[in-house]
Chains A and B, each alone.
Chain A
Amino acid sequence: MTPPKPPLPNSLKRRPDRPGSQPLTGAPGGNGPNGRNGKAAVALRKQQQREKRKQQLLEIPISVVGWLDERSGVSPFLRAFMFRKTPRGTNWYYTLGSATLFAFLSQAVTGVFLAMYYDPSPSGAYGSIRHIINEVWLGELVRGMHRWGATVMVVLIFVHMGRTFVFGAYKYPRELNWVIGVVLLVLTLAMAFTGYLLPFDQRSFWATVVGVNINASGPIVGPYLADFLRAGPEFTATTLSRFYAIHMLLIPVLIAALIGAHIYLVTKLGTTAPPWLKAEKSRDLAKEEV
């Protein structure tokens, strides 16, 4: 014979139904197998509660998004931005721009985290990169992503440019987008140039000396440009921090702004069909041309 169970505290007792709420199925009252507290009735009640909670949980994201949308009115914009019409024949080559964008975002994210450990001083720069590679957990991976990602971004931006050229996607009315793209290319190369100095080993130091002197070889403005890059006639500690500031603050902001303009124009003007697809002429127009 089992001893009687201790009485449940009030907080754990099931509350009586509110008046007017859905009456539970099964016979009212009683502790029989089909009664109010019978096994089947309890299981059904639990099942109903689970369904109700699931519905409530599903409501949360919908109501959050609804709350935001009601106050920002962003959904018509997003619908127009994401569900655009694309021409027939759109293929994998059309993803090169997004790939370049992803490479930029990857550079931005890894760059921000590298900046947490990097020390832009002539005596500390090389050591801090050694520290990132050898001692920081996953440092070699993150630094490797940034270092190789730079190459990937330069390659992708050129392939994207080649695609645009070969497909004739730079023609009217998309010339402005081509111009913005060329500026983005130049800024990306400037990122590669300024980032190359930052490890501050022999290779990056002398490569930057040569690179700055190549700038100096430009007629009239060259010598002044080199002075601007070095912050004076000689390579100093200021040169490194100047390159660092240009690399992580000045150019990324410009690139991000121009990418915004680039994507706005793509959205506005749409993409072009591949050149091997002939335009579908209406029968009347075709007749008129003959």
Chain B
Amino acid sequence: MADTPQNPRKKKSPYTLDRGTPGAFEGETVTRRTLMSGGALAAGGIATAAIALPALGFALGPVAEDTIQDNWRDVGPESDFNATTYVPKVITIVPEVGGEVGKTTIYVRKAIAADKSPSDKGAPLPYVAISTRCMHLGCPVRYVQASQRFICPCHGGVYDYEGKVVGGPPVRPLDRFYTKVENGRVLVGKRFSLDSHLRRYKPRDPSNHVDGLWKYLYPSRPTT
């Protein structure tokens, strides 16, 4: 074209008339064709986003919402439990699921003075309710009374009487549940996680560290 600028650094005129665009108007900077195609693209983009964004939010929604209700589950009278050994109890974690999937086993014993957590502000928990979810990858651990250890069948994680890691791949002590006593019944509430000093944290997934610098790689999630 004849109007190709000789000097590439020379700025093109913003006016279509100066650029020699066919059908240009005085004072026009955007041609009708550019405006129309831009408008059509924008309309298509808005229409696509109007479908895609709600669908995406629908699929990703559970990541941002806390769906675990703060419900207290009765696990039996106080006379069922003692301070020297664990009693297995089955509680329902997710009530809306039928069958066995929503249930889990916990181990419960009476708390002693040594169980006072460093992060306890008010009264310490009256009972220790330990989750059987292994902190390596989530298999169910089993309490062996003879050795006073929690042992995981999948990859050989071993925890001591308090739930602290003594062997194998787990990254932190076994999770626990909040407990309280009402009318002589023991109630079990929400789950919480513990670091190696048994300080409390919001519940994390198995395999997520809460100790040292590692914990910055595993942020707390909005779902718990």
B139 close to A (CB within 8 Å): yes
> Across the interface, which residues of A come within 8 angstroms of B67, CB to CB?
232-233
Q: Are B137 and A237 in contact (CB under 8 A)?
A: no
Q: Find chain B residues with CB under 8 A from A213 CB.
A: 136-138, 205-207
Query: Given the known A-B contacts A227-B223, A233-B203, A234-B93, are A220 and B68 also in contact in the complex, defined by CB atoms under 8 Å?
Result: no
In the assembled complex, which residues on chain B have CB atoms less than 8 Å from the CB atom of A209?
A: 137-139
Of A122, A223, A226, A233, the residue contacting B97 (CB under 8 A) is A122
- Determine the residue in chain B with the shortest Cβ distance to A200: B101
- Contact pattern, A 206-219, Cβ under 8 Å of B = 1, otherwise 0: 10011011101101
Interface residue A123 (Cβ < 8 Å from any Cβ of B): yes
Query: In the complex, A123→B62 CA distance in Å?
Result: 22
Count, chain B residues at interface, CB 8 A: 33
Interface contact A236-B96, CB-CB below 8 Å:
yes
Interface of B is mostly: loop
Chain A residues near B208 (CB-CB < 8 A): 216-217, 222-223
Residues of B within 8 A of A226 (CB): 205
Give every chain A residue within 8 A of B139 (Cβ-Cβ).
Answer: 206, 209-210
On whether the beta carbons of A205 and B60 are closer than 8 Å, the reply is no
Tally of A interface residues using CB under 8 Å: 29
Chain B window 139-160, contacts with chain A (Cβ cutoff 8 Å), 1 for yes, 0 for no: 1100000000000001000000
Q: Say yes or no: is A165 at the interface (Cβ < 8 Å to chain B).
A: no
CB of B223 within 8 A of CB of A233, answer yes
**Quick one: which of B63, B67, B96 has the most chain A CB within 10 A?**
B63
Contact pick for A232, options B59, B62, B98, CB 8 Å: B62
| A235 interfacial contact with B, CB 8 Å | yes
CA distance A211 to B215 in the complex (A): 21
Give B101-115 interface residues, CB cut-off 8 Å to A. 101-102
Residue among A212, A223, A231 with the highest chain B CB neighbour number at 10 A: A223
Q: Is the CB of A210 within 8 A of B101?
A: no
B218-A222 in contact (CB<8A): yes
Min CB distance B224 to A, Å, is 5
CB proximity of B97 to chain A, nearest CB, Å: 5
A223→B64 CA distance, assembly (Å): 12
Of chain B, the residue at the smallest CB distance from A239 is B101
Which residues 186-224 in B have Cβ within 8 Å of A in the complex?
203-208, 217-219, 221, 223-224
Q: Kindly state the separation between the CA atoms of A217 and B205 in the bound complex, as whole angstroms.
A: 8
User: What residues of chain A lie closer than 8 Å to B136, measured between beta carbons?
Assistant: 213
A residues 216-251 touching B (CB-CB < 8 Å): 216-217, 219-220, 222-224, 226-228, 230-238
| B contact residues around A233 at 8 Å (CB) | 67-68, 203, 205, 221, 223-224
Chain A 233-277 near chain B by CB (<8 Å), digits 1 or 0: 111111000000000000000000000000000000000000000
Tell whether, in the assembled complex, residue A237 and residue B62 are in contact, meaning their CB atoms are under 8 Å apart: no
Q: Does B23 contact A (CB under 8 A)?
A: no
Tell me how far the C-beta of A78 lies from the nearest C-beta in chain B, rounded to whole angstroms: 32
Least CB distance from B27 to A in Å reads 47
Q: Does B87 contact A (CB under 8 A)?
A: no
Q: Is the CB of B63 within 8 A of A238?
A: no
Which A residues are CB-close (under 8 A) to B63? 224, 227-228
**Complexed CA–CA distance, A210 and B135 (Å):** 11
Q: With A214-B137, A236-B97 known to touch, is A223 a contact of B102 (CB < 8 Å)?
A: no
Q: 7 closest A-B pairs (Cβ-Cβ)?
A: A217-B207, A219-B217, A216-B205, A231-B62, A213-B137, A213-B138, A123-B98
**Which B residues are closer than 8 A to A by beta carbons?**
59-60, 62-63, 65, 67-68, 93-94, 96-99, 101-102, 136-140, 154, 203-208, 217-219, 221, 223-224
15 pairs of residues in contact across A and B, judged by CB atoms under 8 Å: A122-B98, A122-B99, A205-B101, A209-B137, A210-B139, A213-B205, A217-B205, A219-B217, A222-B218, A226-B205, A227-B63, A231-B62, A232-B62, A232-B67, A236-B97
Binding site for B on A (CB under 8 A): 121-123, 205-206, 209-210, 212-214, 216-217, 219-220, 222-224, 226-228, 230-238
Query: 9 other contacts beyond A226-B205, A228-B62, A237-B96, with CB at 8 A cut-off?
Result: A122-B97, A206-B140, A214-B207, A217-B208, A223-B205, A232-B65, A233-B203, A233-B205, A233-B221
